[in-house]
A = this chain, B = another copy of it.
Amino acid sequence: MNTYTDYLWFNTKKRQEFVRITDEVAAIVKTSGIADGLVLVSAMHITAGVFVNDWEEGLIGDFQTWLEKLAPAGLPYRHHQTGEDNADAHLKRTIMGHQVVLPITGGALDLGPWEQLFYAEFDGQRRKRVVVKAMGN
């Protein structure tokens, strides 16, 4: 049984941005040499997430509109009494999920036809990290 660990770095131009990372994670899995197992992809910052969904610009816009409705920016959050202004980012990432575990089969990500992996940034414009850890034979 082998493990292989790598990290992806992000520094988004916009405060909120969804970045497709399917290819980057697939490349890490290939480098790992693992033929069969699991790979964890997990945001290491608490105002960002990782999720699987469709690679379609309209839907990405729908997600962002929807998250703003469910977890609006600019409310008088108690967290902001500490000097922070990003409580909504913590809530939004909770809706989207902060990590996924993907299956590796035959040396590659075992994904359905429309499954794409995304990094979801909700308080960007600074350097942040995602851990990618593969484990298997």
Given contacts A1-B1, A45-B114, contact A59 B38 (CB under 8 A): no
**Distance in angstroms between the alpha carbons of A137 and B94 in the assembled complex:** 31
B36–A38 CB distance below 8 A:
no
Inter-chain contact A133/B103, CB cutoff 8 Å = yes
| A78: interface (CB < 8 Å) | yes
Q: Taking the full assembly, how many copies of this chain does it contain?
A: 3
A1 to chain B, nearest CB (A): 4
Number of residues of chain A lying within 8 A (CB) of chain B:
58
Given contact pairs A38-B135, A58-B78, A133-B105, A112 touches B46 in the complex (Cβ within 8 A)? yes
Tell whether, in the assembled complex, residue B66 and residue A91 are in contact, meaning their CB atoms are under 8 Å apart. Answer: yes
Query: 4 tightest CB-CB pairs across the interface, nearest first?
Result: A44-B112, A58-B78, A1-B1, A59-B79
Q: List 16 A-B contacts (CB under 8 A).
A: A1-B1, A1-B137, A3-B36, A3-B136, A5-B110, A42-B103, A44-B112, A45-B112, A53-B90, A58-B79, A58-B80, A63-B90, A63-B91, A63-B94, A66-B91, A135-B135
